[in-house]
Amino acid sequence: MKAKRRFTSDVVAAIRDGKILGIRAGTQPHRFIGIWAVVVEGRVFVRSWSLKPRSWYRTFLEEPRGTIQVLDKEIPVRAVHTRSERLKNAVSRAYLEKYNTPGSIKYAKDMGRAKSRATTTELVPL
């Protein structure tokens, strides 16, 4: 059985402690955008706040490979849709804990609603 790939501890810590994660969905060349990311059980999760037709989330649905920017490095990733309700609940809590400033809390609450919750995606290094 193949072992599941994990990010190094310094990458996980940088994502856990940072507010914005640079991400580029798919393999076509384009700019990185900044999104919110959380760490649960040492694993990296992201959710889409907006489900626009040309979003990073929809790109990952069609092509689950991409790249993140962490610690001045570009790290290739694979996007894995999360089905576990237990993990989705933990990710919702993690968003509320991490993004708790007066300006962020409204959006963090929105990230726990059904529309965004359904987009829960784990990023796994390639």
**pLDDT, tens digit (0-9, with 9 covering 90-100), for 61-110:** 999 999 999 999 999 999 999 999 999 999 999 999 999 999 999 999 99
Domain count, the chain: 1
Domain interval for residue 67: 9-125
Calculate the CA dihedral of residues 79, 81, 86, 91 and round it to 10 degrees: 50
Query: Looking at residue 58, which CATH number applies to its domain?
Result: 2.30.110.10
**pLDDT, tens digit (0-9, with 9 covering 90-100), for 31-45:** 999 999 999 999 999
Q: CB of 68 within 8 A of CB of 123? A: yes
Q: Is residue 91 in some structural domain?
A: yes
CB contact burial 56-94 (16+ within 10 A = b; e otherwise)? bbebbeeebebbbebeeeebebebbebeeeebbebbbeb
Q: Is residue 103 in some structural domain?
A: yes
How far apart are the C-alpha atoms of 82 and 71, rounded to whole Å?
26
Q: Is residue 4 in some structural domain?
A: no
Q: Is residue 83 in some structural domain?
A: yes
> What pTM did the predictor assign?
0.94
Q: CB of 45 within 8 A of CB of 122? A: yes
Q: Is residue 2 in some structural domain?
A: no
Q: Is residue 62 in some structural domain?
A: yes
> What DSSP designation does 28 have?
S
| pLDDT at residue 3, as a whole number | 54
Q: Is residue 3 in some structural domain?
A: no
Q: Is residue 1 in some structural domain?
A: no
How far apart are the C-alpha atoms of 108 and 66, rounded to whole Å?
24
pLDDT at 113 over 60: yes
How far apart are the C-alpha atoms of 109 and 98, rounded to whole Å?
11
